[in-house]
Structure 1
Amino acid sequence: MRIALPHSLGKDEVRTRLKSRLGDASGKASELIGGMAQVETQWIDDDHLTMTVSAMGFTIPSQVTLEESQVLFDVEVPAGLGFARGMIESMIREKGEKLLA
């Protein structure tokens, strides 16, 4: 699933905001899901980030690409979570917009 979040910040500002706000990603994910969740992030280069969320027996890997006018989230939704695609997309949009605000 690919989700694009448009912005007018430029890549450098988006990178700065993401790096400063991803520090407690596991805690924020646990609050959001209502249980224990693990979030692992790793910067591949200045414009690409991998993010893996593990919770409730599922692992959801994703790639985040910073572009000049949008942030792209490529999320691999496991077959067992197909029913939750809309909810996952909604959460990414909501939380992503807050990260960029």
Structure 2
Amino acid sequence: MAKPLVVVIPHQLGLAEAHRRLDGGIGEAKALLQKAGLSMADASWEGERLSFVVGALNQKVDGHIDVAEDTVRVEVNLPRILSLFASKVQQVIGHNGTKLLTKK
């Protein structure tokens, strides 16, 4: 397995609001993944950690999102073959995460 991909997204929402927005964004993430031909097999909360499993190109991608007072840390374990797409995945996570966690 390749080194985990990590994206840290700062925010000013506080813990509860960041958690609420991420929880609300799960459905949107599933829809976006489905449009790209991917599937989210599992997503579950344990405290302030959201663990997930995504199916991509006959590969299993797992990871978790840790919510803190002023940051969200996303860690994705890409199989070696999918690590070729790591920079694009990192860019998409950063962009969409920032959009979701921007104060409105």
What is the TM-score normalised by the length of structure 2?
A: 0.84
User: In the alignment, which residue of structure 2 is the partner of 1:26?
Assistant: 30
SS at match of 2:61: strand
Structure 1, unmatched stretches of 5+, are none
SS at match of 1:2: strand
User: In the alignment, which residue of structure 2 is the partner of 1:6?
Assistant: 10
The number of aligned residues is 97
User: In the alignment, which residue of structure 2 is the partner of 1:74?
Assistant: 75
**Identity level (%):** 25
Structure 2, unmatched stretches of 5+, are none
- CA drift of 1:23 comes to 2.3
Deviation sequence 1:14-38 (CA, Å, 0-9, x none): 011111221243222122x2x2x21
What is the TM-score normalised by the length of structure 1?
A: 0.86
Indicate the RMSD between aligned Cα atoms, in angstroms.
1.3
Inter-partner Cα distance in structure 2 for 1:81 and 1:25: 19
Inter-partner Cα distance in structure 2 for 1:84 and 1:20: 26
- CA drift of 1:49 comes to 0.6
Inter-partner Cα distance in structure 2 for 1:14 and 1:55: 27
- Map 1:27-42 → 2, pairs under 5 A: 27-31=31-35, 33=36, 35=37, 37-39=38-40, 40-42=42-44
Deviant stretches of 4+, over 6 Å: none
